[in-house]
Amino acid sequence: MASSDLSHYPSYGDAVKTDKKTLEAIVAMNSTALRFTLQQQLKANTPNLFTCACGEAPILASITAAKELGAICGRIVSYANSGDTSIGSRSRVVGYGAVSFFADKDCCKSNPKPDKKISQKPAKVELNPRQKRALLIFARKTIEQFLKGQVIPLPRGFDSDLERKQGAFVTLKKNGQLRGCIGHMAEDLPLCQAIGSMAIQAAFNDRRFAPVTLKELSEIEIEISVLTPFEPVNGIKAIRLGIDGVVLKKGTRSAVFLPQVATEQGWNRIQMLDHLCKKAGLSSGGWKKDVRLFTFQAMVFRESDL
């Protein structure tokens, strides 16, 4: 057994490309070719790439030892980088992989490649009950594992629909009262990863509330809002209460309400916009001049529904 990280510290996309070449060179079990691959990748001047494998020597030693023990082929067992986690930044990552060597060629026939899809356009997708349940279970599992052992599970094994890049909010309620709510508006993360990330943020980083504790987790219900892409609106009459979520931007200030907020609070359109201004740090009526308004819809589902 040998231990090594892979690439340090390129962007997510560069890490996927670099680590793919490194892992494919490892499973080929050619020490000379592997060293050449590592050297050539470092010479490619990939931004912020400091190493392709910090444990190059242990990897080379393991290949040599495996051959002596009768191994004839390798297999990529798993790949991920720190940008795949629910709290990882994709601008600066570390790559991780697992490779096994075998004496039996049949063990290497289904060799998965670490070829991640890193560019998907957002799309409107209607999720079925099984997919909704999978996201809710993952959100709860993410909070629970972090509370029990400071561990963040990877968002794996989801349907392709749940890998699409979409914005989302995670809302926590305790005895029907808000306990935390934070969302990711940008459409730059796979939905399943955004859910895990926002579950952590809602549980521990909503400044309106104390961090969630393990003792109270069983009393908390999780609600997820999957967002559609934003669309600009020309006037407030185009906003449909209870259907449209609203984003308000004025200068450097901005705020957002999910579609269900206005109806839950019993606000009319004017009251909703006034409260949105207050949330953005503006005075009531600030929406009447020099603002940009955007609407979106949300697919909302909660644990009690399923």
pLDDT per residue rounded down to tens, the chain (306 residues): 889 999 999 999 999 999 999 999 999 999 999 999 999 999 998 999 999 999 999 999 999 999 999 999 899 999 999 988 878 788 999 999 999 999 988 877 765 555 554 444 444 558 999 999 999 999 999 999 999 999 889 898 898 889 998 899 999 999 999 999 999 988 888 999 999 999 999 999 998 899 999 999 999 999 999 998 889 988 899 999 989 999 999 999 999 898 988 998 999 999 999 999 999 999 989 999 999 999 999 899 999 998
Number of domains in the chain: 3
Is 3 a domain residue?
A: no
Residue listed under structure tokens 């892409």: 229
Q: Which residues of 239-265 are buried (b: 16+ CB within 10 A; e: fewer)?
A: beeeebbbbbebeeebbbbbbbbbeee
Is 64 a domain residue?
A: yes
Cis-peptide, bond into residue 9, ω within 30° of zero: yes
Is 305 a domain residue?
A: no
205 and 145 within one domain: yes
Provide the domain limits for residue 237: 229-300
Is 50 a domain residue?
A: yes
| Final residue of a structural domain among 174, 194, 227 | 227
Q: How far is CA 137 from CA 15, 101, 109, 130, 258, in A?
A: 29, 34, 33, 10, 22
> How many Cα atoms sit within 13 Å of 46 on the Cβ side?
23
223 and 142 within one domain: yes
Residue listed under structure tokens 């999957």: 226
User: pTM of the full predicted structure?
Assistant: 0.71
| Final residue of a structural domain among 227, 244, 272 | 227
| Final residue of a structural domain among 77, 108, 139 | 108
Is 164 a domain residue?
A: yes
